[in-house]
Amino acid sequence: MEPQRPFLVSLNELHDRGGWDAVFGRQAPLELEIGFGWDPFLIEAAARRPDTDFIGLEYDRQRVREFEARIGHAGLTNLRVCHGEALHAIPRLFGRGQLQRVYIHFPDPWPKKRHQKNRLLGPRFLKLLFYHLADGAELIAGTDSPEYRDFISASLFGLPEIVNPLAPHDWVDRLPGHPATKFEKIFRAQGKPVFYFLRTRGPAFAAAHDGEIAALCQRIPRRMDTMPHVVLSGPADLASLFQDFQPHQWREGNVVFKLTEAWRSARQPNLLLESLIVEDGHDEWFYLELSPKSKGLVVKVALVREVDRNELLFRFLAGVVRWLQQRQPGLAVARHNLAGFMD
């Protein structure tokens, strides 16, 4: 069993997109840092400004764990952490105009040409981000890389509805009152330049971009109240399923579902199926657990790792049941909670 993790908020706990008032137990301005790494910026900001609620979003698991421990040690009630990739997580975590400020300090610059598609601060992400910022709310972004600086600058140039309070400067070397982050201190000590952008959501942003982003948010797979499960009856043979396992995948629209590996569970004779749902470039990986039941088999999501509880998971389980029945035709569906997802 996972230990209690009071400072980590997963998508499953935020059943209502943007339900942060319930998480913090109050209504307060909300600020987000993306990619906090090992940097204490957000811990210090939360301690200094108790009237604001802060969220840190980071895709590195180890850094998230370390950050959780630090929030606990600091005894902060106005700071939470989310484990996830920004482009995927932001429209699932926040409502339109919900954020008062976003910080992105020293995002990975991806200097190699073939990796530049991974750069976060492109036009697609900026539009998504500013949709979730309130009118007049701020983005603060810093980089040490002249190439990334020019990339950010070009991305922003194409979005004139985002206002530049620093004009006529595009970026500055320092933002008054803004503390230096861990990376920034390292770069400055090495004599490297640092470039800070400051931008706000202007009044023309809504008319230019809100429609497009709202439509995108509507396509996000529906969140579900329960975890899917299926009970199959008939002669189940887990040993031969394990021995004969071959990776299997199928596509439904823009989503690819994969079974990549079979493992024997520590809870013998259960099997774990390593599973992957790939949607819009995002990989959600987890395990399904197959456990024998008197004259049958139970298929459910294993508790090994939390998975985004949405309708894709239900479609996935329905496909896995089809796959199981092809392998062991004696199995029949006895019970399930996949109504609307089973053929």
Ligand X SMILES: C[S@@+](CC[C@H](N)C(=O)[O-])C[C@H]1O[C@@H](n2cnc3c(N)ncnc32)[C@H](O)[C@@H]1O
Q: Draw the binding track, 89-118, toward ligand X (x: CB under 6 A; -: no contact).
A: ----------------xxxx----------
Give 122-172 as a DSSP string.
SHHHHHHHHHSEEEEEEEEEEES-HHHHHHHHHHHHT-TTEE-TTTT-S-B
Residue 301 near ligand X by CB under 6 A: no
Tell me, yes or no, if 280 is annotated catalytic. Answer: no
Q: Draw the binding track, 68-87, toward ligand X (x: CB under 6 A; -: no contact).
A: -----------------xx-
CB 175 within 8 A of CB 169: no
Residue list 36-55, contact with ligand X (CB under 6 A): 36-37, 39
Question: Of 45, 63, 145, 205, which lies in the binding site for ligand X, with binding defined by CB under 6 A?
Answer: 63
- Separation of alpha carbons 314 and 299, rounded Å: 12
Residue 209 near ligand X by CB under 6 A: no
Phi-psi category of residue 153: left, alpha or beta, with phi > 0 → left and psi -120 to 50 → alpha: alpha
- Separation of alpha carbons 163 and 205, rounded Å: 9
As a dihedral over the C-alpha atoms of residue 263, residue 222, residue 341, residue 269, rounded to 10 degrees, the angle is 20
Query: How many CA within 13 A on the CB side of residue 279?
Result: 19
Task: Residue 290: name the closest of 239, 215, 246, 214 by CA.
Answer: 239
Q: How many residues bind ligand X (CB under 6 A)?
A: 20
Catalytic residue among 16, 60, 108, 170: 108
Residue 66 near ligand X by CB under 6 A: no
The least distance separating ligand X from the CB of residue 44, rounded to whole angstroms, comes to 12
> Which range in 59-67, 132-140, 191-199, 318-326 contacts ligand X by CB under 6 A?
59-67
- Separation of alpha carbons 202 and 224, rounded Å: 35
Q: Which residue has the tokens 């199926």?
A: 273
Residue list 310-339, contact with ligand X (CB under 6 A): none
Of 63 and 315, which has the nearer Cβ to ligand X?
63
Residue 195 near ligand X by CB under 6 A: no
Q: Which residues bind ligand X (CB under 6 A)?
A: 34-37, 39, 57-60, 63, 85-86, 105-108, 120, 181-183
Which residues are known catalytic residues? 108
